[in-house]
Structure formats: C-alpha cells, structure tokens
Amino acid sequence: MPGARPSNGLRQDHWCSRAPRAILPSMRAMLLDRPGRPLREATVPDPEPGTGQVLIRVAACGVCRTDLHVADGELAQPKLPLVLGHEIVGTVSATGPGTARFRVGDRVGVPWLGWTCGTCAYCRTNRENLCERARFTGYQLDGGYAGLTVADERFCFPLPETYDDAAAAPLLCAGLIGYRALVAAGDAARLGIYGFGAAAHIVAQVARHQGRRVFAFTRPGDAAAQQFARDLGAEWAGPSDRPGPEELDAAILFAPVGALVPAALRAVAKGGTVVCAGIHMSDIPSFPYDLLWGERVVRSVANLTRTDGQEFMRLAPAVPVRTAVEQFPLREANEALDRLRRGDLRGAAVLVPAVP
C-alpha cells in the first residue's frame, strides 16, 4: 500500500539534512555498558531533542547514591548502554518541536523524574511520583554524565539564581528527595538523620531553619561525618548502632542499610515515624513487634513530584541551603562513584564536563 513507503520527499530531505550530524560522534559521555562494570569513556553522537524536549549542554551533574545502585545492578533493567546522572544543571542549547517553556540560553535543572503518563490512577491523584509508567533520568532515560542531554521540558526546573552550576546540582535529588522525606517525617521536633551524606547535609539545614532539633547518626567511628553534621547544626552526632541522647520524634534513613530500620524504631518515641528515603536498601532484619507498637510508623519515600521540586526550589534559597560539593572532571566519574561507595565525601560529588 502506498502509505508503507516513505511517502513524502519532505521527510526524506529532513532526514538527509540531519544525517551528518547524527552520524558524526561528537559528544563525550561516560557509558554504563553493563551493571558491575566501570563506566566507559566514549564519544557518541549528539542527542537530538524530540517532541517536547530540550537539548541541554550539561554544566554540572551530581553523583547520587541511586547512580551507584544502578551501576552495581541493584536496580533492575536499566536502559543499556546508559548515561547515568539525574542531578543535571545545564543550559538549553536547542528546543525540539512543540516546546514553549524554555528558550535557548536558559539555565535548567533536570531531576530523576523524567516522564510520567498523566493518565494512571496515581497521576490523576497528584501522586505522579508513583506513576505506573514513569521513566527516570539516568535509569530508563539517558542522564547527565555527558556533555549534552535531552529532557522533556515539562519535567525540568528553573533553578534559583543564587546557586552556581555545581552548587545547584545536589538540590535536584539530594535536596528534593531529602525535602520530600522531611515532609513525610511530619512536624517532628526532634529529628534523627541516619547516614550523613549529600541528602542529609541539605535536610539538616532545612530542618534547623524550621526550628527542629537535629541528631545525626553515622557509621560508627566516622568522626569526619559527625563533625560535618555538627558544623551544619546537628546538636548531637554519634554512631548509628546506639541510641542517641534522647528519644526522637522521627528519623530519616538515607543510609541503604536495612539493619538501621529496627535501630531507628528503637530510637523514636511512641507515635514516631521512620522514613526510608533511599530507592534500595539491604534486607530489614526481623524485629520484635514491641518496636513498632505504640503507633510507630515505618514508611518509604519514592521519587518526587514536580510540586516537590517547585516547593523546594523556592525554599532552598530562603533558608538559605548551602551545598558542599566536590567537583570532578567528567572522565573521573568512576572515581567519584568509588568515593561515594566508600563514604569518602564531604557533601556531594559533582561532575563538571567542561573541566578537562
């Protein structure tokens, strides 16, 4: 039938005119070929913005613990090969068909939530973070460990001007998910934070700004992390294998360690909530019902909604949240991931493609 063959010269011309650009490999990227292997530095064709997408020149991309879970094979079925990274700060360098929100030159942030269906029961009830068909940046969609990326403009955020590119990157996941976890902790006056990395260092500042008391629980013996927590306003910092100096009203777990769930339940008062904020956690050991009794609650926080992002991008400069970042050239992404795995970072690692 006539419709089966390329039906118009226009389309053909369109393809021909773009073909040289698509074929010439020109963008540097760190690729995950297979979980469990180090990322591979490669030169690949520039991505092209599709309908509703913008092309973004990456200025900075944060390194998140979720990237480690994807790289290590703890999250099932990533796109492969994959460009990791979902804390992307960059400048719009081209716009695809049907876009209207941003102009070339605008600075934008790209978070973990890359696309939602808009029609499932979760999307229709303001819970797009739970969308049945959601796609995530740096997991099912290529992310920001690269010179360029494309993103659906509806899921990008304008960023507060007071942050430079590298400083803004951790706001996009550590900040956003941390904020969602803090909201899930309710109005707890005494807040415990387990695992004092990128997310915790932001949440601690917001919590102090809200007048809460912060207690930081780190790996036993991690004096540097404990000092970091005290520097950011924690009134107490100590090892996670023992209770703190007094009962907590809520605890947020950023460390992906299931054994901390019963430990945190032991540390919270009756009616207290334990929020698990990571996407992956080792198995939670069994524990006596006594630890849950007294209306204690264990819950998780999954992904983010665009509303979370809008709220947090207003809140962060008002606190003001100051991010501690350590910058790495893009080609040192494996080193940055290893440092995160070892807990050997003060704040957040950020990849900066422009640094040679």
Applying CB under 5 A, the residues found at the interface with Zn ion are 64, 66, 116-117, 120, 123, 131, 173
For residue 325, what is the enclosing H or E element? strand 325-329
Which CB atom, from 120 or from 224, has the smaller least distance to Zn ion? 120
Whichever of 117 and 183 has its CB closer to Zn ion, that residue is: 117
Nearest approach, Cβ of residue 352 and Zn ion (Å): 18
* Closest CB to Zn ion among residues 256, 272: 256
Crossing angle of helices 306-318 and 198-209, in 10° steps, is: 70
**Please, what is the minimum distance in Å from the beta carbon of residue 177 to Zn ion?**
6
Give the helix/strand (H/E) hosting 157.
strand 157-158
CA–CA dist 100, 179 (Å, integer): 29
CB of residue 278 vs Zn ion: minimum separation in angstroms? Answer: 9
At 346 the three-state DSSP class reads coil
Least Å distance, CB 355 to Zn ion, is 22
187: which residues sit within 8 A by CB, 6+ positions away?
Answer: none
Output 227 or 300, the one with its CB closest to Zn ion: 300
- CA atoms of 19 and 14, how far apart (whole Å): 9
Cβ proximity to Zn ion, 144 vs 147, nearer residue: 144
Of 248, 258, 123, which is closest to residue 195 (Cα–Cα)? 258
Closest contact distance (angstroms) between CB of 65 and Zn ion is: 7
Residue 202 parent element (H or E) = helix 198-209
Bridge partner list, 248: 268
Grouping H, G, I as helix, E, B as strand and the rest as coil, residue 168 is: helix
Secondary structure letter of residue 294 according to DSSP: T
CB of 303 to Zn ion, least distance (A): 9
**Which pair of structure tokens corresponds to residue 331?**
């080609």
How does DSSP assign 210-256, residue by residue? TT-EEEEEESTT-HHHHHHHHHTT-SEEEETTS--SS-EEEEEE-S-
**Closest CB to Zn ion among residues 59, 131:** 131
The label of the residue with tokens 């100590």 reads: 238
Q: Specify the DSSP element, H or E, that contains 27.
A: strand 25-32
Our CB check for Zn ion shows the closer of 291 and 304 to be 304
* CB of residue 198 to Zn ion, shortest distance in Å: 9
DSSP class of residue 217?
E
Give me the least distance between CB of 42 and Zn ion, in Å please: 23
C-beta of 268 vs 348, nearer to Zn ion:
348
DSSP 63: E
